[in-house]
Amino acid sequence: MELRQAFENKYPKYAGRIERLYREANDCELTFANITKPKLSRFASFLVDRLSRSSSRTYCAMFKAVLNLYNEEVDLPSGYASILSLKNDVSENAFLNDSEIQKLIKFEPSTRNERLVRNQFVLGCLTGARHSDYINFTHGNIQDERIVYVSQKTHIRAEIPLSPVVERLLKENEEYFMIDKEVSSPTFNATIRSICKQVGINERIKLYQAGEYVEGERWEFVSSHTARRSFATNLYLRGADLYLISKLMGHSSVNQTEGYICCGVRDIPDAIMKYFGSFK
């Protein structure tokens, strides 16, 4: 029995939605052959990014229940149950640093999709906007040397200082993509991962996701949402306070912003380091 059929037998009302979410998260069909630890982790992280915590837990619990029914008949990765058991602990996510974003800017696309996705992703990295917002940016969003927009999701206004690269990419998008400026989520994520791999964003990293450590090359953990995380994290590492980052990202509270910081404590000032060194 294929996995889709197994879901339809146990959860007929939810099988189609879970299949679509898994396909969007991993750019592959929902089959037993496509169940791996990195893909399950990506699926769980994808849910947390887009759904409420309770909905994410529900879908993961359904997924785990179906796999449990067939774990003696099908070769499943060890630890799958732990990955799908969403806890209250915070998952780690990947971000791209300045030099990695610069590699994307310098990348020469070979296809229309590569150019569109690269341009839109970089816009997200340099504005902190959500994917649903940055794919719709035009020159009309430029006001007084700032990018100004109202988020489709939260209806909150945000203003971000205008980068020369952002202005250039907006002009390029209007020249190249007069009509269709959107690709499906699976295509977008698969394309930006491919680009990141091509430009050498391949450092091996270890992240704590969905209750378990997962290892892989950095490009494997990149998605459309990585752009927004990169924006927040890079500003934080430069010393920006959370209140400023929150305002630039259009958040209603600093608590929301904290979840987008994908690094540990930034460099500690010398005065504080001297304090720790004073006890002998």
Q: Supply the CATH number for residue 163's domain.
A: 1.10.443.10
- On whether both 152 and 32 belong to a single domain, the answer is no
- On whether both 195 and 115 belong to a single domain, the answer is yes
- On whether both 109 and 246 belong to a single domain, the answer is yes
- Asked which of 48, 83, 118 is the last residue of a domain, the reply is 83
Residues sharing a CB contact under 8 Å with residue 128, sequence separation 6 or more, in sequence order? 158, 160, 228, 231, 232, 235, 245, 248, 249, 250
Confirm whether pTM is higher than 0.85.
no
pLDDT at 272: 61
- On whether both 64 and 151 belong to a single domain, the answer is no
pLDDT at 280: 64
Residue 137 lies in a domain: yes
- Most distant CA pair in the chain, distance: 68
- On whether both 137 and 194 belong to a single domain, the answer is yes
Residue 164 and residue 235: Cα distance in Å, rounded?
A: 17
- On whether both 79 and 113 belong to a single domain, the answer is no
Residue 91 lies in a domain: no
- On whether both 40 and 131 belong to a single domain, the answer is no
Q: Along the 280 residues of the chain, how does pLDDT read in single tens digits?
A: 688 889 999 999 999 999 999 988 888 889 999 999 888 988 888 887 777 777 888 999 999 999 999 888 888 888 888 888 876 555 678 899 999 999 999 999 999 999 999 999 999 999 999 888 998 899 899 999 999 999 888 888 999 999 999 999 999 988 887 556 678 888 899 999 999 999 999 999 888 775 667 888 999 999 898 999 999 999 988 888 889 999 999 888 787 788 788 765 555 566 666 655 666 6
Task: Read off the amino acid at residue 150.
Answer: V
Residue 263 lies in a domain: no
The structural domain count of the chain equals 2
- On whether both 145 and 245 belong to a single domain, the answer is yes
Q: Burial, 273: exposed, middle or buried (Cβ in 10 Å; 0-12, 13-18, 19+)?
A: exposed
- On whether both 146 and 193 belong to a single domain, the answer is yes
Residue 243 lies in a domain: yes
Host domain of residue 41? 3-83
Residue 268 lies in a domain: no
Residue 100 and residue 125: Cα distance in Å, rounded?
A: 11
pLDDT at 267: 56
Secondary structure of 39-71 in the HEC alphabet?
HHHHHHHHHHHHCCHHHHHHHHHHHHHHHHHHC
pLDDT at 86: 75
Residue found under tokens 């904290």: 258
- On whether both 162 and 195 belong to a single domain, the answer is yes
Residue 59 lies in a domain: yes
The whole-angstrom distance between residue 206's C-alpha and the CA centroid of its chain comes to 16
- Asked which of 27, 58, 83 is the last residue of a domain, the reply is 83
- On whether both 238 and 136 belong to a single domain, the answer is yes
- On whether both 131 and 48 belong to a single domain, the answer is no
Residue 275 lies in a domain: no
Residue 239 lies in a domain: yes
Residue 45 and residue 137: Cα distance in Å, rounded?
A: 26
